[in-house]
Amino acid sequence: MSATRVFLLASALARLIERERRGHLVRQGFFPDRTGRSAHVQVAGETGHLILISHQAAGPREEPAEISRVQAEALLELTAGQTQYLSIPIEVGSHSATIQRFVTPAPLDLISITFKQDKTARKFQPPAWFGPEVTSEATYQVRSLALAGLPSAPELEVTNEALHSLLDVLDNRAGEPQPQPTEVSRVPQTLEGSIGICGATMSPTVSYDRRSGSTADF
């Protein structure tokens, strides 16, 4: 069974990664919980998704449905809470990771790393440039950020060790290949904010200025 671990990331380091790798803008809106089920809508690129989740004894069951961007935009207006973030892919060793640079509801930087097996996830030792782990803290789940707002996050110090460790990754001195551009038009968020891939058309990469709220295509 696959597993995902989530860590805080210093804003300065996240900004450095954004300059090197760019990313794509994702908007999500979450509807209020209902007994036994929940739902949210996502817009990424020119495509939207409506994700319905049934909470069963065997675990959550997701039913993502692709919808037009116009439909998704209309549904976003009806949601109880929204998030907006820049999603940036990066390789950490042999593992795929995703950085989320949140703009809405407030600035926050997270890095999520996915493992094919629970055992591998437990053995993973985060590099020096990762911040504290928040995997088990529900307040850092995307749904919670949208509906309850940003939790009180600690101020993260950027050490020389952390900076040099990250630069090694960006310069590929660890011997890892550059990540390929992310295919985003069919990539709905699953499990209330973890990353799921359905794969299809490429959307433009985007640089997002969190201070001005503007984007630039590349």
Virtual CA dihedral for 184, 187, 191, 194, nearest 10 degrees? -30
What was the pLDDT predicted at 184? 44
Higher pLDDT, 174 or 95: 95
Distance CA 23, CA 39 (A): 25
CATH code for residues 3-204:
2.40.320.10
What was the pLDDT predicted at 210? 62
Whose tokens are 């380091």? That residue is 13
- The values of phi and psi at residue 161, to 5°, are -60, -45
47 token code pair: 């495509």
Distance CA 27, CA 194 (A): 14
Mind listing the pLDDT tens digit for each residue in 47-67? 999 999 887 777 678 899 999
Higher pLDDT, 174 or 173: 173
pLDDT band at 35 (very low <50, low <70, confident <90, very high): confident
Mind listing the pLDDT tens digit for each residue in 99-152? 999 999 999 999 999 898 889 999 999 999 999 999 999 999 999 999 999 988
Residue 148: CB atoms within 10 A of its CB come to 13
